Chain A
Amino acid sequence: MSTDNIVLRVESLVVETVDKSPKPILKGVSFEIQAGETLCLVGESGSGKSVSSLTTVGLLPSGSLRAVSGRVELDGENLLQATPKRLNELRGSRMAMIFQEPMTALNPVLSVGKQLDEVLACHTKTSTAQRRTQVLDALEQVHLPDIQRMYSSFPHQLSGGQRQRIMIAMALLLKPRLLIADEPTTALDVTTQHQILKLIRELQQKHGTAVLFITHDMGVVVDIADRVCVMKTGKIVEQGPVRQVLSTPKEAYTQCLLTAVPSLTPRPPRPARGPRQVLDVTGLEKEFVPSQGLLSWFRRAQAGTKAVNSVSFQLQEGRTLGIVGESGSGKSTLARCVMRLISPTGGIVRINGQDISVLNSRSLKPHRGCIQMVFQDPYRSLNPRLTIGQSLIEGPMNYGKPRNTAMLKAKELLELVGLPPDAIDRFPHQFSGGQRQRIAIARALAMEPDVIVADEAVSALDVSVQAQVLALFDDIQQRFGVAVLFITHDLRVAAQICDDVLVMQRGQVVEYGPAQQVLGNPQAAYTRQLIDVAPGRSWDFAAFAPAS
């Protein structure tokens, strides 16, 4: 590797927490990136990926973390010794950053044009008219439609993909030498993700930018990286060219990460446990009508949005039905209607033969226990003030179970989901994300349900934890014969856990059938498109080789 072209060099970087007994977060991290090259930092949450990038741009949260030793050189200039003023000059002009969540990374009260303009106003001395031309040009480069309108739009008027394009346009306005992209596509749908990755590649080639790309998604690594650094607990455990790391991983940890990536090839269906149909949904509809408020008499009635439109499916005991689709396709609304957390505006939801779609809250109560939910974010779905035991027994006690019996059952369930018995007296914040999701599953099981609705239940988890939780779902299905309605945007996850798959687009069913058929031989163009753009499709992670 030639050394004269190196844009970023990080050498023996050590970052610690700022408190009485400092804990190391980065333990001597070293890597470098050349102009025009993409380096992927991969690793699970807490491995130090984001801390590495924030240290580089000098945006470590000042009260809690600090760099204690090492060097971070941008074109030979040590950034750790740069003054705040110098760092401000470099940020935006020589190094730029795009973040994970395009929904929150843009200021909601300033127009897009203004937010781009201030980068130029801050770093250059060009006139207002020139700046406007430059901004419009940047918006055009990221292939946004109707750029004049975009210029005066506010972030809430744009889609997630458009916002991320704007973030990219903003980052590349002054043609920085280094672009840091911190999980820039994690919050996006596969189709949008594919487009954004293509765009970053295209602009990088055009401007010769060095890209530090942070991701936990091995699929994305396959699609974008030139070289890879694998991080674990604040250290780089392996680095090298992408092909080499993916095909001949030296470290056991890297091998684990790779083999944990679920395969896109659907698993064979499990033998049916019995013919009992536990959930039967027919012609389900949910229309959201805008609130008219107190002054509804003075206004014309407005047309509503059909979030779920004529959806029908059946679920037998012991089976898993995957509902897949992009954000806004109506998956979560469907789940909430089935749970009767919201009332459907049409159709029938039968649980064990009983239609619950029209029941009032009193007559619904006996049926609530039959259908339980596991939510996406394990950090927010458990009450932080209740111990795990209290959370687990609350439901059964509400249905008349004596406290002692409920507690015994809770202990059994915790053991079943692989948690230590003393977990019962602890609080949610004392557990990791994966453990909390296990607790959430135990809580659902405590009600002895016939159906569990899992709404993106593994999306917030790291790939190795994800594999464990998926295995747990499989295990509880084998034991209890509970049926699972598994909502996910991730086709890899769907392929590994589902017997049947239902693909949704704009509230409607596009394709529905056995997983092997829908994912293995898709008939609908939309399903095919979803599979085509799934990241890392060209690589077979389990075989450490390109996909055949």
Chain B
Amino acid sequence: MNFKNICQFSDDRKVRIPSGCGIAGIFNKHGELLSGEIIVRAIDSMKDRGNGLGSGYAGYGIYQDCRNYWCFHLLYNQATARDQVEQYLKTYFNVKLSEQIPTRKVKSIKNPPVLWRYFLETKEQMPSEKEENLIVSVCMGINHNANDAFVISSGKNMGIFKGVGEPSEIADFYKLEDYKGYLWTGHNRFPTNTVGWWGGAHPFGLLDWSVVHNGEISSYGVNRRYLENFGYYCSLFTDTEVITYLFDLLARRQNLSLDTIGKIIAAPFWIQLENYSDEEKHLLKWLRIIYGPALVNGPFSIIVARSNFMLGINDRVKLRPLVAAEKGSTFFLASEESAICCMEKNPDRTWTPKAGTMTVCFYEKEHYGNSKDCT
């Protein structure tokens, strides 16, 4: 394999690349499994929203047999980096399985990096919060310190598949049709100033978080520095990275409700506070005072997923499109209604979420853990 070109790509990671994009997500809240093809259809329908310089997918429920193991997807720009990272992983984890991510040759994808996945369990038994913090610090360690290796995803029973290419090419490359999941998100990228690199494509992941994002975060400089206070170091130079870490910080570490997080990253305008009760006003004011640096400014529509929910949220003035729909137990989000139509021709309901509001769908508890195949 020739790594020459990839080394050129890795220089691009020193530069933050704002991008326009198309996003979509599908979630069966009863855990019924859907083939990856469905999300590819949706993303591929929004060709105009990308330029072939990046695309990717996140699937949940795809590793049913290994659902209790942490699954790391690794991207190596240099094959030599693998030994180093594997040594590092082995200091914290028992490796259940280590294999190359299955790919097929696609004509237009030249010189792909080495892609590897690991199913891991921690060496010591520890409380889940501690275990999650360990995963975060291992990911930060690799992404921040290793030059030629990047952790693409690091959750359980989920994985992210992304790279530089058109949506259909990336799906082909990763044989996405072989995976079945109850939740899929996808992304089509339009980087605006330079060639995208594989690690910079979306979705962006940490633990079982995955984020796809359309927009440019003008508060990136503030958000990044705020996150550094809490030990998150942005090393992938995409705006999306800060959103992922913000969710991890606020939801997992500070245990705030999704609704509260929505009010932080897309805080209501001061003038809108008049519409709230005194108690809510009080809370909103303090959220703004405390979490001002976590406010995400600039245009964005994002889809955030975790094992048990999928949500969509817009910036406060809705400078990027986002449409939601539902059909039975399935919930859809996409940049365009046309993408939803590619997944479901007759939704029960289609609506456009308002600026700054969060649209969220949870896994229904009675179905949790018994995913079944419905394709």
A binds B: no
